[in-house]
A and B are shown apart, each in its own frame.
Chain A
Amino acid sequence: MEAVQNFMELSQQVVGFIYPNEIEIHWSILIVVYPYITGLVAGAFILASLVKVFNVKELQPTYRLALLTALAFLLIAPLPLQLHLGRPERSYEMFMTPNLTSAMAMFGFVYLWYLMLVLLLEIWFEYRRDMIVWSGEATGLKKWTLKVLSLFSTDISEKAVAFDKKTVKVITVIGIPSAFLLHGYVGFIFGSIKANPWWSSVMMPVVFLFSAIVSGIAIVMLLYMIIMPLRGGKIDMKCLDKVASFLFYAVIVDFSIEVLDFIHRLYESEESIKILSQLVSTKLFMSLVVLQILLGMLLPLGIMVVIKVFKLQEELRKLLYFVCAVLIQMGIFSTRWNVVIGGQLFSKSFRGLTTYKMELMGIEGFLVALALLIIPFVVLSVLIKLLPPWKKEELAGH
């Protein structure tokens, strides 16, 4: 009966005509959280790969942090999907009887490939030598945890360490297309739905990818600025400036692609254009025009231009970078919202709009979504404790 009450309220807010089965929004806030999280994973990994593959030395202080960030978020990424299923106890069917024509069926395989073969391997080779050294210095539980994590390897000869380094590089080279695959694939899940003109676009995987790179770089920048001082180190301004300038270029590319997509839709002006314009100018105005474009993209772009042109002093730069990174996170979250929720707010009859009323408490509610966004940071703090991204001399050296 409560559900009927809910639908009655919702139907009051429907504008125009929707098919009767469309009264319910099927992919809720949890499905907004999922591409947001995987985007952070892919983006953080791309930042890390800049150090190893493209040899951008200035970024070295963010390398390990970026890898651990990617891992922390990747570990949580399947949770929102699992929680959102109507029958979560059957999710294993996705591995047992995958339907090969389904983009979604590939999730488990893409995920495992990325987690097992790319991220865990790279982190293991990167930390192997240190884990052996640290397990020698530590005592008790930590000693044994590190020993287990290093898979009881003991060889820290120059030859072995050189092998580690080479392997890391190879994995990163495989990792870049894998990161592209991971997030491009999430874009494809939406972009391949021909029934939905808001989603159905060949640009979707590309837009997802670049927004992922933007959000990933911004989150690592944010974490670096917060964690480094907390651990008693000093922020390396050369590194920060470099991260910011990569962020700047990524935002420009992302923005251009989204503008291109927008102009293309407007110019082609297909059957759906009326309802989509109505969607953008009413239900999505706040989250798309204000939050995503103005505050999440143009404002940070403007700030970064000011920083570059006026060569501001260090403290002010730090503050402004921080503001930019926060704004960009909000902007990319809005991007995910506008894709996932926005794509369900208009009727496939193209004759009306519906409303999404987010629950507060329920399993697909606000609190669960918030928890899912907080848990990765808890995981990250454990990872950082166990596998410090910066060595003592690095912290003292700055």
Chain B
Amino acid sequence: MDRRDFLKNICLFISSGAVVGGLSPDAWAKLIHKDYDPAKHYYGMGIDIDKCIGCGRCMQACKTENDVPGVPYFFRTWVERYVIKTDKSVTVKTISTNLEELADSFVEKDMLRSFFVPKLCNQCDHPPCVQVCPVGATFKTDDGVILVDGKRCIGCRYCIQACPYGARYLHPETRVADKCTFCYHRLVRGLLPACVEVCPKQARVFGDMKSIASPLGRFIRMNKLHVLKPSLNTDPKVYYANLDGEVN
């Protein structure tokens, strides 16, 4: 790419960003990347609980990539640490991205078993958030990702109430609902979500469910899977391998 092309691309990118609000789902994807056809994909994520070491890199990468507020309260993705003690009592904590705090929290006594659970928007196939949004600002794309149109959202927070997974928050600066997009801006360019990219253990596996050959296709074939809160009939597209029954 020479300098001229580079500048041209930048201009295109900036101008497309400016008009991206208020578009239909597939027009949205096309505008971000003209060669991208959302109808050809259907995305999901696999998470292997046994591989996660709770390093929190995914949380940091997500905050940086998506301009999530730096405070330790709003997250598009976070990691929970479960500790089940010999008396069967369960304690859960969201792991800290602060390394010193993180080291402290690992000292536990009488531990029976312990594991980490990465969480994010489940990109449900029957998303309650889309159902309740009064203005249609939250919608499902053709490739199965749930997005929020920040230019249309009125900030009523009904979607936040309707999400069973606590995956949404009201962005303190834009005052609209915000959540994980599977890094949609990266997907349409053929890149992986930031959290998947940085995971040192490949505990997160991302892929296209329309392709059996994708890493996710393999993950789905090789593991016994579970989803969160299946009784709510939301049909999540984030699949967990080796998930413990205590997790909800």
Contact = CB atoms under 8 A, between A and B. Distances in A.
Contacts of B176: 86-87
Contacts of B166: 18-22, 347-349
A107 interface: yes
A103 B157 contact: no
Contacts of B133: 99, 102
Contacts of B74: 20-21
5 contacts: A4-B71, A20-B73, A23-B73, A194-B164, A349-B248
B105 to A, nearest CB: 13
Contacts of A55: none
Interface string A186-213: 0001001111100000000000000000
A194 B127 CA distance: 12
B91 interface: yes
A93 interface: yes
Interface of A: 3-4, 7, 11, 16-24, 26-27, 81, 84-88, 90-91, 93-94, 96-99, 101-105, 107, 189, 192-196, 344, 347-351
Nearest to B131: A101
Interface in B188-245: 232
B168 A104 contact: no
B175 A86 contact: yes
Instruction: Provide the main secondary structure of the chain B interface.
Output: loop
Contacts of A193: 128, 132, 161-162
Nearest to B138: A99
Interface residues of B, number: 46
Given A21-B167, A26-B157, A97 B72 contact: no
The 10 A-B pairs of least Cβ separation, nearest first, read A86-B155, A19-B166, A86-B175, A195-B164, A105-B134, A17-B92, A99-B136, A104-B134, A26-B157, A21-B169
A24 B134 contact: no
B170 interface: yes
A85 B137 CA distance: 14
A351 B91 CA distance: 9
Interface in B139-185: 152-158, 160-170, 172, 175-177
Given A7-B71, A195-B162, A24 B135 contact: no
Contacts of A351: 90, 92, 248
Contact of B248 (A22, A23, A350): A350
B75 interface: yes
B30 interface: no
B71 A3 contact: yes
A94 B152 CA distance: 10
Nearest to B164: A195
B94 interface: yes
Given A97-B135, A104-B132, A195 B232 contact: yes
Contacts of B132: 101-104, 192-193
Nearest to B247: A349
A85 B155 contact: yes
Given A21-B75, A24-B73, A26-B161, A102 B93 contact: no
Contacts of B94: 17, 19-20
B78 interface: yes
Contacts of A195: 128, 161-164, 232
A90 B176 CA distance: 11
Given A19-B165, A21-B74, A26-B160, A86 B153 contact: yes
B134 A94 contact: yes
